[in-house]
Amino acid sequence: MNNMRVGGGGGGLGNSRSLSSTTKDQKQTRETKRRVLLRMGKYLFQHPATVIVAFLLMLGSNILALAGPKLSGVAIDAIAAGPGKVNFDTVYLYTALLVAFYVLSFIMSYVLAVIMVRLGQKIIYTLRREVFEHLTTLPVGYFDTHATGDIISHISYDIDTLNASLSHDLLQICASVVTVVGALSMMVTISPILLLVFAITVPASLLFTRYKTKRVRPLFKDRSMKLGALNGYAEEMLSGQKTVRAYSREAVIVGRFDRRNDDAVEAYYRADYYGAIIGPSVNFINNVSIALITVFGGILYMLSNTVPDLAPVFVISLGGVSSFVQYSRKFAGPINELANIMSELQSALAAAERVFRLIDETPEVADSEDAAILCNVQGEVDFDHVKFGYVPEKTILHDLSVHAKPGQTIAIVGPTGAGKTTVINLLMRFYDVNEGEIRVDGTELREATRSSLRGAFTMVLQETWLFHGTIFENITYGKENASMEEVVAAAKAAHIHDYIETLPRGYDTVLSDDGVNISKGQKQLITIARAMLSDSSMLILDEATSNVDSRTEQQIQDAMHELMHGRTCFVIAHRLSTIQNADMILVIKDGRVIESGNHDTLMAAGGFYAGLYHSQFT
Amino acid sequence: MKLIFRYLRPLYRSMAFGLSVKVLATLLELTLPYILSYILDSVVPLGEVLPILIWGGAMVLCAFGAFMGNVIANRNAAKVAKNASRRIRHDLFHATMHLSSRETDAFTIPSLESRLTSDTYNVHHFIGMMQRIGVRAPILLLGGMAITLILDHRLALVMLATLPLLGASVFLITKHGMPLYTRSQQAVDGMVRVVREDCQGVRVIKALSREDYERRRFDTANRELVAREQKAGISMALSQPLMSLFLNLGLVGVIFLGAHFVNADLSKPGRIIAFIQYFTLMSTAMTTITRIFVQSTKSAASANRIGEVLNTYAAHPQKEGTGLPEVTDDAHFLVFDDVSFSYNGRKNNLSHISFSLPRGGTLGVIGATGSGKSTLIQLLMGFYDADAGEIRIGGQPLAAYDEKALHALFGTVWQNDFIGADTVAENIRFGREISDEAVRRAAHLAQAADFIEAFPKGYDHELTAKGTNVSGGQRQRILIARALAGDPEILILDDASSALDYRTDANLRRAIREELHTTTVVVAQRVSSVMYADHILVLDKGEIIGAGRHEDLLQSCPAYREISQSQMGGAFLE
């Protein structure tokens, strides 16, 4: 049939990411390939009994199926005697045997298929779990430098590909070997001389396979790439549809879309044009080999009947010709599929390598053995000549020294990119400093356990983070055993209780992308409610109210004061009004503290801060 | 499906050629087993080699003819598919770009996206596939039946009895299995959601040390997915072995009955061999037909989804204005006259909005999220029609403008407006004929010139999709430059400067005020962005709760006073 898969590029909507990784794969050395393969094997052999049973079933069902043509050949020979002379005993015996063999083979291959599905799912489950659990140990830096989409594709698409190869291709290869070897040996027993036919057809198949890999597959890759570009453009323009219309640019945009559309359909056509030869070629080679077998088998059959002392190697019966034709089909199948299986294995190896690379990512440095558990934290924080950069080439903080007394509010001000959020990243130990020290209550951060350090802080960030779960679950996320009363009190303080009450399911409302219509501001109020539940002694507010409109912000100001009361607070905000009351304002520019002091002293100094402050009124 | 035929109609001639070639090629292929049986039953008994070679040569010729025919037909099919889907995709994209806002809302953007990408792909694939195997398989099946009936009608009946069984079982299994796959796809979404959430929320999770909880959450999703995939996999696992079983049992039947027929001189042994060949061909054809059937329901769904959009567009009333009517009223240049509007027809999103702004004036709109600020802009630009009241620009009601002429008046920056993967200059130019000089001037006015010129390639700096490689403030300034570049009559800034620091925001306002004389509408949450406007509207839940100048509002509107105090620390009351 013509609908066979062509390499790895046959289906799919075009994915430029997987494409770029394929080019990389070609550079993959033999050595790494071997290592990856061995490692893949390990997952398979975690279930040795299943693998052995599967292998035996595969062997059994294939051998039984292979016996079919041979048995039917014998039956046909019994028929070939002609009218009135058919040997019915043989026919009955062999047809009965055939039925038994085929039914057995059916049962075995069904059981095998079920076992393989189960085995595959077990492996997938383990792999996904391993990858995910490893993800939870990775430092924040990993997530800052890797696109979420890529991580998701490792845990879904790559693992699926890997598994498909483990639980399907591997068995397929074994089955192919059994079939090829089995069919070949059967054909040898029927007529070794007829095998010469394959001297013509097998090289033709191999040449054709070469054509396919060299000429056609790149075209399919090109097709995926062009489709990817087209889809990317369509998505981009759809998201900006309103803008396009506002500027009446529909015609221009449609024109640009058409260019990409032309490229895409043209690439599709080119791939199809050269791919169009694949199905017919396979059929042609099959048909030619059948024709050759018929001709030479026919001649041999004729000679067997007419020449009495023919050398045994030339002798063939009618049933023999029939069996031979059937075996030749079985024999050709795996050889035609060779290219597909190889390319699938290649992409599986590439996928496996990506998955393993993720599993091998260095996790967060473990807490040192004698790490202190911070408890009853007062909230005294010291930055002592801290130097830090996300990459060695670019230092973000050059020499930062800050001293915060318990209960003080420290506001951090400065232009975008100055390193305000970096301070928070270091404080929470999402990243470790390059030089200098940070101390909480006199304990250096790296000498305390991460969980106790982080537990000493409460955070409200600009990027609100809620997960798919009920509002109740989201609010109690930091304090699992919180009671309903506590949650309601927190929600009331965050001015979100009334809104929650208007929802049909109240606190049990599930937050989802497609579910209730909840605004950015309301989301942020929920995260503020979450923070209200915490009893830690230090607080981080990174643009915490940027999504809340001014009126609501004004209304929750009391609650925010309550939240800040008695805690050491680190506040980042655009709105200067939030900052004015801070005990200390740090103005950070280019990684250095250029000014510090409270509002009044900074205004009196007439520096950068004063300029910033005045600019809001001009 | 109707849609597909509509687009294929101009290509019928080409298709007819391809399909006839395909039919011929398939018929040639079908003669092969016939010749085979003829050689074995009639030529071999002659005892001569030459006729065998001649007939063998005939077989090779037929095979070659089939090969050529199939290649030609397949290439033709690819061409037809190319031409049809090029037009479908063009028309669909054209339609999506011209849908009204209400229509877009009804479809939703993600849905339009998937119609443009996966649905057009499915249709393209389907058109090609139908012409290739969609013709071949039925011909193989029917032609095979015909030939076997001629060859030996008794044996043919054995096969005909098995085929429906084969088809039905494959069909039933697939039908049962497909919904299971849909269900596992939902579980995949569930698993992916946990991963996505955790990647995005890694700081919160680590801050609260909830890694264990997340592991459990993932494990639940993982288990659910595995269970569903296993169920789907197992139910589909039956089809392949079952197909082989039916095929093989059919073969056994042919041999068994064939023995009786040959014995009674009703058939010949060579025919049995030919039948085995035909049976293999036909049963493969049968499974292919079942697959095509499943595929075609999927493609029909895709075609329908495309058709919905095209039909909506075709039925959609084109706004017939008179182009750009003459401005008759400068003193009341922008007017809302008791305008009310609702997105869903139930609850008003704007109620009784009235204001008037002279040409060159500045309107400030302030209010909480959801108060109707952006809706007001959408109505002003004609994206939605007001349910009640009238909007006038330059003394003319909006209905007097055609859409293009209306939009040409505006330079707009939406909240979270979009940046394309292109150069800075092209993002500012946005497909309009605007000189380099004008682009630079716009960037300068938008306070964007400094950072753009600091890029190594300046205005040719490539931005990524959504502008992820520049900061939020830089993005907003590029967007403002885009709005200014067209020298608009009316400038609309919808929360367009929220990411700018106060100083840049102030410089921007000064530049607009001093160097341009456009009528400006500023929507903001910051008092400082609107306080210098000639007229300020304070919106709350779709109603005007305060209107006037900054100083008046401080006196007359308590809500405005509150906002102002909270943002400015009360500095202005002193």
ipTM for the whole complex: 0.81
All residues at 6 or more sequence positions from B175 whose CB lies less than 8 Å from its CB, including other chains: B294
Residue B209 confidence (pLDDT) = 84
- Residue to substitute from B525, B532, B538, B554, interface A, most A β-carbons within 10 A: B525
Q: Do B229 and A124 touch (CB under 8 A)?
A: yes
Residue B118 lies in a domain: yes
Residue B88 lies in a domain: yes
- A&B contacts, CB < 8 Å: 456
**Any bridge partners for residue A382, and if so which?**
A403, A439
Residue B534 lies in a domain: no
Domain that includes residue B110, residue range: 1-152+290-316
Range name among A124-128, A461-465, A500-504, B132-136 with the lowest pLDDT average: A461-465
CB nearest to B263's CB, from A75, A83, A249 = A83
Indicate the number of domains in chain B: 1
Nearest to A284 by CA among A336, A232, A351: A336
CB nearest to A79's CB, from B64, B249, B259 = B259
CB atoms within 10 A of CB A42: 8
Measure CA of the first residue to CA of the last residue in chain A; give whole Å.
76
**CB of B540 closer than 8 Å to CB of B368:** yes
CB atoms within 10 A of CB A144: 13
Is the pLDDT at A28 greater than 70, yes or no?
A: no
A326 CB neighbours in chain B (<8 A) are 276
* Strand locations in A348-434 (E): 381-388, 397-404, 409-413
- Say which residue the tokens 């929650």 belong to: A500
- Say which residue the tokens 């279930």 belong to: A47
Residues of chain B with pLDDT under 50: 569-574
CB atoms within 10 A of CB B52: 23
Nearest chain B residue (CA) to A224: B121
All residues at 6 or more sequence positions from A565 whose CB lies less than 8 Å from its CB, including other chains: none
Is the pLDDT at A233 greater than 80, yes or no?
A: yes
Tens of pLDDT along A142-184? 888 887 878 888 888 888 888 877 777 777 888 888 888 998 8
3-state secondary structure string across B35-101? HHHHHHHHHHHHCCHHHHHHHHHHHHHHHHHHHHHHHHHHHHHHHHHHHHHHHHHHHHHHHHHHCCH
CB nearest to A13's CB, from B70, B81, B117 = B117
Residue A616: φ, ψ to 5°: -75, -10
Measure CA of the first residue to CA of the last residue in chain B; give whole Å.
73
Residue B506 lies in a domain: no
d(C-alpha A306, C-alpha A315), whole Å:
11
Residue B306 lies in a domain: yes
Tens of pLDDT along A550-582? 667 766 777 788 788 888 999 887 666 667 888
CB nearest to B473's CB, from A244, A416, A615 = A416
**Residue A471's pLDDT band (cuts 50, 70, 90):** very high
CB nearest to B368's CB, from A109, A551, A612 = A551
Indicate the pairing of strand B362-367 with strand A457-461.
unpaired
All residues at 6 or more sequence positions from A247 whose CB lies less than 8 Å from its CB, including other chains: B407, B412, B430, B431, B432, B486
Query: What are the structure tokens assigned to A309, written together?
Result: 């002392």
Nearest to A298 by CA among A283, A284, A318: A318
CB atoms within 10 A of CB B565: 18
Nearest to A474 by CA among A503, A500, A511: A511
Please give the order of strands across the beta sheet that includes B362-367: B410-413, B490-494, B519-524, B362-367, B535-540, B543-548
CB nearest to A102's CB, from B101, B109, B249 = B249
Interface of B with A in 183-222 (CB under 8 A): 188, 191-211, 213-215, 217-219, 222
d(C-alpha A248, C-alpha A497), whole Å:
44
Closest Cα of chain A to B331: distance in Å? Answer: 25
d(C-alpha A331, C-alpha A325), whole Å:
10
Q: Do B101 and A227 touch (CB under 8 A)?
A: no
Residue A242 confidence (pLDDT) = 82
- Helix A88-137 to helix B239-263 angle (10° resolution) is 170
Mean pLDDT value across chain A: 83
Cα torsion B146, B147, B148, B151 to 10°: value is 130
**SS3 label, residue B108:** coil
Residue B7: φ, ψ to 5°: -80, -20
Using only C-alpha atoms, chain B has a radius of gyration, in whole angstroms, of 36
Residue A24 confidence (pLDDT) = 47
Interface of B with A in 334-373 (CB under 8 A): 367-370
d(C-alpha B494, C-alpha A243), whole Å:
12
Residue B83 confidence (pLDDT) = 94
Query: What are the structure tokens assigned to A360, written together?
Result: 């091998």
B418 CB neighbours in chain A (<8 A) are 236, 239-240, 243
**CB of B135 closer than 8 Å to CB of B276:** no
Residue B222 lies in a domain: no
**CB of B485 closer than 8 Å to CB of B555:** no
Residue B218 confidence (pLDDT) = 93
* Strand locations in B119-210 (E): none
d(C-alpha A567, C-alpha A409), whole Å:
8
Q: Do B218 and A132 touch (CB under 8 A)?
A: yes
Residue B404 lies in a domain: no
Tens of pLDDT along A308-323? 787 877 888 888 888 8
Angle value at C-alpha B116, between B114 and B122, nearest 5 degrees: 80
Helix (H) or strand (E) holding A355: helix A318-360
Helix (H) or strand (E) holding B524: strand B519-524
All residues at 6 or more sequence positions from B122 whose CB lies less than 8 Å from its CB, including other chains: B298, B299, B302
**What domains does chain A contain, in order, with CATH numbers?**
28-190+341-363 (1.20.1560.10), 192-315 (1.20.1560.10), 381-615 (3.40.50.300)
Residue A19 confidence (pLDDT) = 39
Q: Can you spell out the DSSP letters for A45-105?
A: TTSHHHHHHHHHHHHHHHHHHHHHHHHHHHHHHHHHT-TT---HHHHHHHHHHHHHHHHHH
* pTM (2 d.p.): 0.74
**Any bridge partners for residue B367, and if so which?**
B539
Query: What are the structure tokens assigned to B237, written together?
Result: 């696992």
Interface of A with B in 390-429 (CB under 8 A): 415-417, 428
d(C-alpha A165, C-alpha A125), whole Å:
15
Q: Do B129 and A3 touch (CB under 8 A)?
A: yes
Nearest to B33 by CA among B278, B262, B286: B278
**Residue A618's pLDDT band (cuts 50, 70, 90):** very low
| Buried b / exposed e along B508-542 (16+ C-beta atoms within 10 A) | bbebbeeebebbbbbbbbbbbbbbbbebbbbbbeb
Tell me the range of A37-41, A130-134, A494-498 where mean pLDDT is highest: A130-134
Please give the order of strands across the beta sheet that includes A568-572: A457-461, A538-542, A568-572, A409-413, A584-589, A592-597
Residue B55 lies in a domain: yes
The one-letter amino acid code at B532 reads: Y
Tens of pLDDT along A405-414? 898 889 988 7
d(C-alpha B294, C-alpha B167), whole Å:
12
Specify the CATH number for the domain of residue B107.
1.20.1560.10
B353 burial (CB, 10 Å; 0-12 / 13-18 / 19+) is buried
Query: What are the structure tokens assigned to B501, written together?
Result: 């620091």
